[in-house]
Structure 1
Amino acid sequence: MGFEGDEESASDVRQNSKFRLNSPIVQVALIGLVCFCCPGMYNALAGMGGGGQVNHKAANNANTALYATFAVFGILGGGIYNILGPRLTLFAGCLTYALYAGSFLDYNHQHSQTFVVVAGALLGVGAGLLWAGQGAIMTSYPTAKRKGTYISIFWSIFNMGGVIGGLIPFILNYNRGEAASVNDGTYIGFMCFMVAGALLSLAILPPSKVVRDDGTRCTNITNSSVSIELVEILKLFTNWKMLLIFPAAWGGNFFYTYQFNYVNGELFNLRTRGFNNVFYWGAQMLGSWGIGYLMDFSFKSRRRRGFFGIAVVAVLGTAIWGGGLANQLRYSRDDMLEKLDFKDSGSAYVGPFLLYFSFGLLDAMFQSMIYWVIGALADSSEILSRYSGFYKEYKAAGAAVAWQIDAHNVSYLNQLIVNWALITVSYPMLFLLVMLAVKDDNDTQDQAPEAALF
């Protein structure tokens, strides 16, 4: 695969609008919209607890299947992306999200887990493809000095999907506060967005066609093949940089089971879960912008920005999980509290709501910080697609374990402690990675400074 249109001069490119289709900012915004429609809506669905069903067993088993296959295709996704290119890879991945939402629509009527679990396994394949491509686009297209900003732009657009997705069950189930499961219209709404995301993915361009405003190409594209990708993927398992990322990857999706099922799912009634999710994913938008700014503009030194960002997330994370512990000590599997309603529960609703909001804020800051670190390790789309795939692989593996821990009725308190410990262990590892692998000299590789984004 080679460059196309190399005869186009840098001055010609500069004369074009920043919002041309082949500009990095437009391509990052497009992948953000794709993720808005697909994983954004999936997040809203999962955030209701049990996929919107009163019995969490079907969703837990489906999520175990999902993350088991995701663990395999997360690592393979980078290689597949490099071979097939973004359009085929992303389109195939997006369609599996619509199938998954449709399986819960079927479950509302048939009450059979089989379709849900199979759809979950297929979604794991699709998610591996989608997120490997997303990671490569988001981390390789911007210059080194603006990676945090681009990550924030993506994360904000993506999590707007969770905000809109939270409104769907809230509005459609507003008068069903005591209902057990969401109605058919909720799942149909999710499916419509997911199909739209699949169609939108066809507008994503291959890296060789993406040109920055100063005329530079986003990446040097070389020929790839199955054998090359297999060799490069196997090398990741002995790459010391990836080994230092491993704790963050394993814990990065582990906490969703606890937060969705046993904070939002157990403490609040149906309509309030959808209401809470609007703010959970809204908090993610705030968190991504905040950490993105710190990691791009807090210090002149790139390495110091990395250290500072990790420290901020570590301090905030310790405080929020400490609040989670205080909340968890009030109830258990055998001693549940009365479900809260955002309209009728008064001040009793405020504390648990703020905790759930804070979990969303922390999630975005943690994930954006890790992607910034990954993006600081290389500039090549090919390399970063593999790094992103590795990260998503172990996130998925950790999540598969987390859903089965829950399926085996492990106490809520023990789940919280494990989550807190996994995230805490990752901070010194990431600090060490920045110290050893992120060089301030990399800033000299940047191209000419970009103009303001908007």
Structure 2
Amino acid sequence: MAIMRLNKNTFRISRPMNQNILVGVIFFCLPGIYTAVVGLGAGGGRSSSGRVANQTNSILYGMFALFGFLGGTIVNLLRPKLSMMFGSIGYPLYVGSMWFYDQTGQTWFPLFAGAVLGCTVGILMTCAVMISISYPEEHQKGLFIAQQWMIRSIGASVGSAIALSVNIDKATPEGIGGGVYLTYVIIQCLPLFIAGFFIIDPKNVVRDDGTHLALFKPLTFKQQLKAFVKCFTNRQLLIMFPALLGCDMALALTSTINGFYFNLRTRSLNNFIFQVVQFFGSLIMIFILDSKYITSRKRRGLVGIVFMGVVSIAACGGLYGWLETVKFTSFTSTPARDWTHSTYPGLLVLYMLFGLIYSAYQLLAQWVIGCLSNDPTVLAQYSGFMTGSFSLGICISFVIAAEGVPQWGQVTFQFILYVFGVIGMAYIMMYEVKESNYFREENTIAPVYVEQQEAVKDENAAENQPVEESRQEKIASGISTNESCSNSQLNTREVGVSKA
């Protein structure tokens, strides 16, 4: 990997990578602290909080699925700044509701906050996915998606470490102090200001070579609604649906087993390990999906799909074996096993595998769909479909667990989704994904180096399509297009840099 060199573009707010990193910082503050609260237990670890947690999760993930599917339309209408600001509201409200419940034992506020968080996080996640797959150049899409995941996993690891440090010597849950809650809420309020001051409109995002991402034509609500409905008849998205549905299920399945089988400090340790492994899962996928040694995008995608297929199937097979070894279904109450117990090392390995799957499988699915287009408006709708599918899957998984379906049945359902998901992603990669989408979409603008490569390969392309791309860039930059687009003007991209 090349060493990053500092220049005038390095810290420019309108730079695509910097916008993506800012989203990662927002994720550091929000899901990270949320993970700490979950690690401590709903209501700070009150022994009576299990029922409230189940009720809250049911409402939260139901609303998450609904607003995830609607998220693409909402993001296109509100734009990223307002979407991220609105999406940041739910987390501190939810943590505050846990504080309220810890003090009063009243459930109405946590249930209300769970519904609000479901609405807001659906929009937040949709906007984040859209930025990660539409802002980068085609050879950087794996990097951008992984950046968000890695920063998010660092935040979640910090949050989990807090929970572990609080619970390290405790076998039973205890409440936590108001000062800890207040600290959590303050940290989770920071993204509201980060989004308000630093997240910008996509039309103002400028690459290092001075080019914009695309032309952003104003669309009416009716047009956005039609685009939303079309997602549910889009053959490519429907083929991807099993993969998307199974992405988040690793979290629900492992948390169900973790919450039932282990004592408090072991649950906290498992939660910490699960979050840390996500960082390395994302790192692995960068090297595969953005590899410079595999020049074909299709081949890189297929290598990633095969890798995730092997890991997913192995993890499910291993979990089958572990459940049978410990006779999991024979327990009528929690055995509260500690990490010193002989059955722990086996699950530790499985927990690490499922932590890797949780980040890498979802990252891969996002990357595959990101290969279908470069248009931010189109990818916003695709991102909404992805987010809704992710949350619907985990909602189904929690419902299955709540209905008392044995763990082997949950693993079987997840295994089936992984198999069909891998098959679907492989089909899309082989038959639907192009080596490049530049010059194939009306509104997108190719980077300068892509136009130069195209000009070398085909003189006709140099005379025709790049001229159109240059005209689009001038429109995106706010420059008059009445001038002639002669060959000499194709080399004046530095105008975009000066305007940025």
180, 192, 201: which one pairs with 1:206? 201
**Shift of the alpha carbon at 1:248?**
1.5
SS of aligned partner of 2:328: coil
Q: C-alpha separation between the residues in 2 aligned to 1:387 and 1:441?
A: 18
Q: C-alpha separation between the residues in 1 aligned to 2:412 and 2:38?
A: 22
Cα deviation 1:256-290 (Å, max 9, x = unaligned): 2221121x222332233223222211110100110
Indicate whether 1:365 and 2:360 are aligned. Answer: yes
Q: Which residue of 2 aligns with 1:386?
A: 381
Structure 1: runs of 5+ lacking an equivalent: 1-13
Amino acid at match of 1:40: G
Counting only pairs closer than 5 Å after superposition, residues 57-206 of structure 1 correspond to structure 2 as: 57-179=51-173, 184=178, 187-202=181-196, 203-206=198-201
Q: C-alpha separation between the residues in 2 aligned to 1:181 and 1:174?
A: 14
**Shift of the alpha carbon at 1:295?**
0.8
Counting only pairs closer than 5 Å after superposition, residues 233-252 of structure 1 correspond to structure 2 as: 233-252=228-247
Contact in 2 for aligned 1:176/1:271 (Cα 8 Å): yes
Q: Cα RMSD over matched residues?
A: 2.3
The alignment's TM-score, normalised by the length of structure 2, stands at: 0.81
Counting only pairs closer than 5 Å after superposition, residues 178-327 of structure 1 correspond to structure 2 as: 178-179=172-173, 184=178, 187-202=181-196, 203-262=198-257, 264-297=258-291, 298-327=293-322
**Shift of the alpha carbon at 1:78?**
1.3
Contact in 1 for aligned 2:130/2:379 (Cα 8 Å): yes
Contact in 2 for aligned 1:75/1:392 (Cα 8 Å): yes
**Shift of the alpha carbon at 1:126?**
0.2
Q: C-alpha separation between the residues in 1 aligned to 2:205 and 2:280?
A: 28
Q: Which residue of 1 aligns with 2:369?
A: 374
**Shift of the alpha carbon at 1:148?**
0.7
SS of aligned partner of 1:61: helix
**Shift of the alpha carbon at 1:141?**
0.8
Cα distance change of structure 1 residues 276 and 192 upon mapping to structure 2, 3 Å threshold: farther
Q: C-alpha separation between the residues in 2 aligned to 1:368 and 1:15?
A: 30
Cα distance change of structure 1 residues 267 and 189 upon mapping to structure 2, 3 Å threshold: farther
Q: C-alpha separation between the residues in 1 aligned to 2:200 and 2:102?
A: 39
Q: Which residue of 1 aligns with 2:336?
A: 339
17, 24, 47: which one pairs with 2:9? 17
Amino acid at match of 1:332: F
Structure 2: runs of 5+ lacking an equivalent: 1-5, 441-445, 451-500
Range moving further from structure 2, 76-85 or 189-198: 189-198
Cα distance change of structure 1 residues 189 and 322 upon mapping to structure 2, 3 Å threshold: farther
Q: Which residue of 2 aligns with 1:10?
A: none
Q: Which residue of 2 aligns with 1:400?
A: 395
Cα distance change of structure 1 residues 249 and 192 upon mapping to structure 2, 3 Å threshold: same
Q: C-alpha separation between the residues in 2 aligned to 1:56 and 1:258?
A: 16
- Give the number of the structure with larger relative contact order, counting CA–CA contacts within 8 Å between residues 6 or more apart: 1
Q: Which residue of 2 aligns with 1:26?
A: 18
Contact in 2 for aligned 1:214/1:447 (Cα 8 Å): yes
Q: C-alpha separation between the residues in 2 aligned to 1:143 and 1:201?
A: 23
**Shift of the alpha carbon at 1:23?**
0.7
Contact in 1 for aligned 2:61/2:392 (Cα 8 Å): yes
**Shift of the alpha carbon at 1:351?**
2.4
Higher CA-based Rg = 2
Contact in 2 for aligned 1:245/1:391 (Cα 8 Å): no
Q: C-alpha separation between the residues in 1 aligned to 2:249 and 2:262?
A: 21
**Shift of the alpha carbon at 1:81?**
1.2
**Shift of the alpha carbon at 1:128?**
1.2
Amino acid at match of 1:339: A
Q: C-alpha separation between the residues in 2 aligned to 1:35 and 1:408?
A: 32
SS of aligned partner of 1:322: helix
Contact in 1 for aligned 2:372/2:437 (Cα 8 Å): no
Q: C-alpha separation between the residues in 1 aligned to 2:36 and 2:237?
A: 30
Contact in 1 for aligned 2:28/2:152 (Cα 8 Å): yes
